[in-house]
Structure 1
Amino acid sequence: MSDIIQLLPDHVANQIAAGEVVQRPASVVKELLENSIDAGANTIKLIIKDAGKTLIQVIDNGKGMTVTDARLSFERHATSKIRSAEDLFSINTKGFRGEALASISAIAHVELKTKQDGDELGTLIKIEGSTVKHQDVTVTPKGTSLSVKNLFFNIPARRNFLKSNNVELRHIIDEFHRVALAHPNIAFVMYHNGSESFNLPTSNYRQRVVNIFGGKTNEKLVPVEEETEVLKISGFVGKPEFAKRTKNEQFFFVNDRFIKSAYLNHAINSAYEGLIKDGSYPSYFLNLTVDPKTIDINIHPTKTEIKFDDEHTLYAILRSAVKHSLGQFNIAPVLDFDRDNNLDTPYDYKNKGVSSPSVEVDRSFNPFQEETRTSKSTHIVASYKKEPAAQWESLYVGLESKGTKTERHFSEVEFESESENTSLFSEDKLVETTQTTYQLLNKYIISTIKSGMMILDQHRAHQRILYEGFLKHLTIKEAVSQQLLFPLTLEFSLSEMELLLQLKEDLEHTGFVFSAFKDNTISITGVPVNVPESEVSIILEQLISDVEQEVTDSNFSATDLLAKSMSKSLAIKTGQSLTKIEQEHLVNSLFACKEPSVSPTNRVTFITMSVDDFDKKFM
């Protein structure tokens, strides 16, 4: 029987390895940016075309490579980061597997230009599908320029699995933010389709956060500093009043490497316990410095997950450090009209010493002297009552002369008959007896039907009603808007602004009126009918969160996503009390919908219980 196991060719092995390293264009961006950082560059440019599907180019001014290193860098397991197995436990660089360039060159057209300082000419290498097509000397500045064109050109199935350009661009921006935040000492510039998206100069960490997420972020930040033998923490957390409905401003960096950790994230949330509302998420930008020997960063292909030796200690230190910073720096003036100003300490008494209170005693007081005390009190009461009696008597002067006129006046007044009052009372009684809806626990509405009883979830039912209403407005593009007395100005990050620009037309069809889109701010002069002004920011944040979760690519249009997101934000919440008229209107509106039985997220809106079901319970 012939052998069936054989070694795979190198180009096939590289394509398989590319499945781990390169999942989407953002993966290429991450690998190339990290290589530039390891090369010692202090200025890095990222150029993107068509969300990375056509071109991804990274240009740096690092130390460059020799001719031999440039050719060897595209071989598998060729790296300058480690020399022995022991180096895996003390890694301070970014990439170290030596598979990044080999995997990228296996599935794309790659062009490398590199030159070291002091060399007159650099090296040019062109590779297509792991095959070197061209190698020559070239004129190029110091550093390295690596272009990745036509990603997944030889794996069309993988290319078809890529999302839309908007989604892929968001992933690229996320990776760009993570790398830029971890290295504020490096200048980063990003271009997309010829226009500059980000220009981040060298700065301190606070300025880097503000440059990425907008100028008003500065007032939201609370510094966190803590240093122990096990862990050093530095960075910022957001004030509780600025908590967002999205998680796009949560960043952990361990030894300048971005990580995801649900365990450490729980430590942050527990520090904010009682300070933020449910459904809101705090912002944090925290750098954790630990001994490289106490962590294992080789447990995940993308290196975004790390295993710590002692997670419990890190949890306790991180939680206490954040709580301490929130208590120390989160000081805001409180406007409380119910507070008694007399309880405030005057500024003049700030540095004044405390004196002991003195007690005065009437040593001549004798409680057994009843006669004297009674006579005094009787005299006081008598003198008190004498004068008011004369005043009361003056009020009745001339009352007899006015009596006849008063009687004559009231005799001309016609009173309503008692029969009408009786009829009105009976109608009220009739309304109470014909009540058909009841609210249970401010969550469910119970309504009687011919066969028994119907129990309706008020939140899901209202979602369905609003969803079909918004969908109708978006389809016919005729929505009613209510104008605001003063324009509402909201601030978002650059990536969030791009999302809102893409959804601007659909938002206008629902009733929003925008007056300006400038830098990081938008001005709103009109909102849909029945939408409170205070809910506008919540609606837009929820919409951004839904779009970032890639709901738009689940065979649903942006119009459907917008209608779902707005209905979820504006629907009646659990715990809200409804009047009898509101309950009946909700029930009637639900059954006027096309699909009353399910919510926009395909969850049941109501259940029914027949009389037979009740009878079975009593058997």
Structure 2
Amino acid sequence: MADIIQLLPDHIANQIAAGEVIQRPASAVKELLENAVDAGATEIKLIINDAGKSLVQVIDNGKGMSETDARLCFERHATSKIRQIEDLFHIQTMGFRGEALASIAAVAQVEMKTRRADDEVGTYIEIENSMVVRQEPCAAAVGTSISMKNLFFNVPARRNFLKSNAAEMRHIIDEFIRVAMSFPHVFFSLTHNGQQVFHLDKGSLKQRIVQVLGSQYNSKLVPVQEKTDYLNIQGFVGKPDAARKTRGDQYFFVNNRFIRSAYLNHAIMQAYQDLIAADSFPLYVLFIDLNPEQIDVNVHPTKQEIKFEDEKIVYAFVQAAVKHALAQFSITPTLEFDIDASIQQLDAVSKPFTEEKKAAASSSGLFKSFTQQHQAHFIDSGKPAASGLKNWSDFFEPAQKETGGQTDRLEYEQPSGFDWEIPKKKWQLLENAEFLQIQQQYIIAPITQGFLLIHQQYAHERVLYERYAAALVGRAVSTQRSLFPVTMDLPPADAALLNELLPDLAQLGYLVEPFGQNSFVIQGTPADVLQGNERVAIEHLLDQYKHFSSDVKFSKRERLIRSLAAQHAIRTGTNLTNREMLQLAEDLLVCAQPNTTPTGQATFIEFNKDYLLRLFA
């Protein structure tokens, strides 16, 4: 029989290997930007067309390359960073494995112009499908310009897996932000389809954070600065009121390299314990600098996951640094021990404590309880008059009953036999019944066989969810135009997300129009939504949408209607009239699935007559 194993041709092997490094246009953006940083550039420009599908171009003013280096850099595993295996454990640069340009050249058409400061002319190279099509001298500025055109032109199956332009652009912006945040001393710009999205001047880290994430964070950042013999930690964390429902504004950098680490994120969440809600996430941009020998960055193709030699030490340092920063800037709760000046004038402070008064105080039963028996909570069981604790006894007497020298206690037991499963049947509200609102959160709705205890916010969320779901497949929600349209500015990442959602938002009653770079005009809102807070509502909607985006099983439209339902539902603490409670109950009970919210929380509990009788049996 003939042999069946054969070596793959180089161009096919390169395409397969490129799948690990270049998964989408954003992957190429990351690699090209990191190469520009490694080249010592102080100005880096990123130009994108069609969300990177037709063009990704990076222009830098770095040191450039010679003609030989320009040709050799496209070979797989060709690198200037490693000479021997020990160098892997002293990596200080962003790229080092020599895979980025080779992978890009395997799945795209690449053009490069480069020139060193000492060279009179530069080098132009054109590569397609890993093959050099043209190489010649050219006029070029000092530095390097690389253009990646028609990504996956030779792998159409992978091109079909790319998402919409808006979705791919959001990934590109994410990668751009991570690199730009790492190097605030470098100028960065991002242009998409001829429109400038980012223009980030050189400056401090705080200035870069505000430029990228938005000016609303300018007054909400707390500096973190800790230096130790093992590592240094610096950066900023957000005040508790800057916490959001999504992890979007969280950045960890180790030796200026962006990383993902659930372990270190847990350290920060512990530092914020009891300061923010359990389902909220704090803002942080933290840089950890330590000896490269203490980490291994070569454990993942994207280099976003690294290994620490001693994770526990890093965890402890991060948690302590964040706690210290929050305490130092009076963010964490503290007790105030300043003495009121009027207290100094009281007799107990101004008059001397004589020996007679000292003897009288030490002979009291209260003094003995605290000193001799060492129990601050001890209460003498003797006669009240003799013990000096008459007031304490009076306080407890109404709740006590003497039975053979013992005190009866009220025991509360969980009633048994209660069925928490909501029966699958229709519930009939009583006609002309009076509804009762409890704690501005729950509604008691009488039905023919007892009553329903309705959670007003969850119930309204279910009603709105089904209404919006119907609107997306049928007649659009009516829009109420604003007399005074509201203009809003968003960070570039949120602006890209909102652009993607505009068509579906229009179907749901929101009329929002682009208004220049990262700006929008809210022309109208759904007719049943109160006007006056449109801008905040849209910002919260985007935050909620990103929160739901973490679940991959939801479609874009499903995430949107869930976000809108959660955003527009009446909140706990809202007073409702009898008519409003009746309307909410009626709307809930005609829903296709009235007993749970879209996220599975119960909207009501039924108390029928049989169960009520068992409670009092």
* 8 A contact 1:445–1:583 mirrored in 2: no
Q: Give the deviation of 1:38 after TM superposition.
A: 0.8
Q: Give the deviation of 1:441 after TM superposition.
A: 13
Unaligned runs of 5+ in 2: 354-429, 613-617
Structure 1 position 359 matched with structure 2 position 351? yes
* 8 A contact 2:435–2:444 mirrored in 1: no
Q: Deviation per CA, 1:151-195: give whole Å up to 9, x if none.
A: 000111111110110011011011111001101111111111111
2:91 equivalent in structure 1: 91
C-alpha distance 89-446 of structure 1, shift in aligned 2 (>3 A):
farther
* 8 A contact 1:64–1:142 mirrored in 2: yes
Q: Deviation per CA, 1:414-439: give whole Å up to 9, x if none.
A: xxxxxxxxxxxxxxxxx999789999
* Structure 2 CA distance for aligned equivalents of residues 453 and 492 of structure 1: 47
* 8 A contact 1:543–1:566 mirrored in 2: no
C-alpha distance 109-508 of structure 1, shift in aligned 2 (>3 A):
closer
1:463 equivalent in structure 2: 461
1:200 equivalent in structure 2: 200
C-alpha distance 100-435 of structure 1, shift in aligned 2 (>3 A):
same
C-alpha distance 357-520 of structure 1, shift in aligned 2 (>3 A):
farther
Equivalent of 2:563 in 557, 562, 565: 565
Aligned residue type for 1:227? K
* Structure 1 CA distance for aligned equivalents of residues 590 and 245 of structure 2: 32
C-alpha distance 306-433 of structure 1, shift in aligned 2 (>3 A):
same
Find the residue that maps to 2:46 and give its secondary structure.
strand
* 8 A contact 2:92–2:292 mirrored in 1: yes
* 8 A contact 1:182–1:253 mirrored in 2: yes
* 8 A contact 2:106–2:129 mirrored in 1: yes
Aligned residue type for 1:543? L
* 8 A contact 2:444–2:454 mirrored in 1: yes
* Structure 1 CA distance for aligned equivalents of residues 270 and 443 of structure 2: 31
* 8 A contact 1:471–1:563 mirrored in 2: yes
* Structure 2 CA distance for aligned equivalents of residues 603 and 530 of structure 1: 24
Q: Give the deviation of 1:54 after TM superposition.
A: 0.4
C-alpha distance 100-513 of structure 1, shift in aligned 2 (>3 A):
closer
Find the residue that maps to 2:159 and give its secondary structure.
helix
Q: Deviation per CA, 1:27-58: give whole Å up to 9, x if none.
A: 00000011111111111111000000000001
2:232 equivalent in structure 1: 232
Aligned residue type for 1:57? Q
C-alpha distance 555-358 of structure 1, shift in aligned 2 (>3 A):
closer
Unaligned runs of 5+ in 1: 362-430, 615-619
C-alpha distance 113-582 of structure 1, shift in aligned 2 (>3 A):
same
* Structure 2 CA distance for aligned equivalents of residues 459 and 232 of structure 1: 46
The count of corresponding residues between Structure 1 and Structure 2 is 533
C-alpha distance 611-549 of structure 1, shift in aligned 2 (>3 A):
closer
* Structure 2 CA distance for aligned equivalents of residues 274 and 491 of structure 1: 32
Aligned residue type for 1:569? Q
Q: Give the deviation of 1:563 after TM superposition.
A: 2.8
C-alpha distance 299-574 of structure 1, shift in aligned 2 (>3 A):
farther
* 8 A contact 1:527–1:533 mirrored in 2: no
Give the TM-score normalised by the residue count of structure 1.
0.74
User: Which runs of structure 2 are paired with 1:587-598 in the superposition (5 Å)?
Assistant: 587-593=585-591, 596=594
Q: Give the deviation of 1:17 after TM superposition.
A: 0.8
Find the residue that maps to 1:219 and give its secondary structure.
coil
- Structure number with the higher helix fraction is 1
Q: Give the deviation of 1:445 after TM superposition.
A: 7.8
Q: CA RMSD in A?
A: 4.5
User: Which runs of structure 2 are paired with 1:277-316 in the superposition (5 Å)?
Assistant: 277-316=277-316
Structure 1 position 175 matched with structure 2 position 167? no
Structure 1 position 71 matched with structure 2 position 63? no
Find the residue that maps to 2:545 and give its secondary structure.
helix
* Structure 2 CA distance for aligned equivalents of residues 482 and 137 of structure 1: 60
1:253 equivalent in structure 2: 253
2:184 equivalent in structure 1: 184
* 8 A contact 1:253–1:287 mirrored in 2: yes
Deviates more, 1:172-181 or 1:584-593: 584-593
Q: Which has the larger radius of gyration?
A: 1
C-alpha distance 442-212 of structure 1, shift in aligned 2 (>3 A):
closer
* 8 A contact 2:41–2:62 mirrored in 1: yes
* Structure 1 CA distance for aligned equivalents of residues 94 and 79 of structure 2: 11
* 8 A contact 2:476–2:507 mirrored in 1: yes
Q: Deviation per CA, 1:90-121: give whole Å up to 9, x if none.
A: 11011111111111111100011111111111
2:274 equivalent in structure 1: 274
C-alpha distance 460-187 of structure 1, shift in aligned 2 (>3 A):
same
Aligned residue type for 1:541? H
1:418 equivalent in structure 2: none
Deviates more, 1:573-582 or 1:93-102: 573-582
* Structure 2 CA distance for aligned equivalents of residues 210 and 499 of structure 1: 19
Q: Give the deviation of 1:196 after TM superposition.
A: 1.2
* 8 A contact 1:245–1:542 mirrored in 2: no
Q: Deviation per CA, 1:533-572: give whole Å up to 9, x if none.
A: 67963663343452586589978565x5433211022336
Q: Give the deviation of 1:479 after TM superposition.
A: 3.2
C-alpha distance 258-152 of structure 1, shift in aligned 2 (>3 A):
same
Find the residue that maps to 1:188 and give its secondary structure.
strand
* 8 A contact 1:246–1:542 mirrored in 2: no
* Structure 2 CA distance for aligned equivalents of residues 135 and 525 of structure 1: 54
Q: Give the deviation of 1:255 after TM superposition.
A: 0.2
Aligned residue type for 2:350? S
* 8 A contact 1:436–1:448 mirrored in 2: no
1:546 equivalent in structure 2: 545
Q: Percent identity?
A: 49
Find the residue that maps to 1:223 and give its secondary structure.
strand
Deviates more, 1:593-602 or 1:211-220: 593-602
Deviates more, 1:199-208 or 1:173-182: 199-208
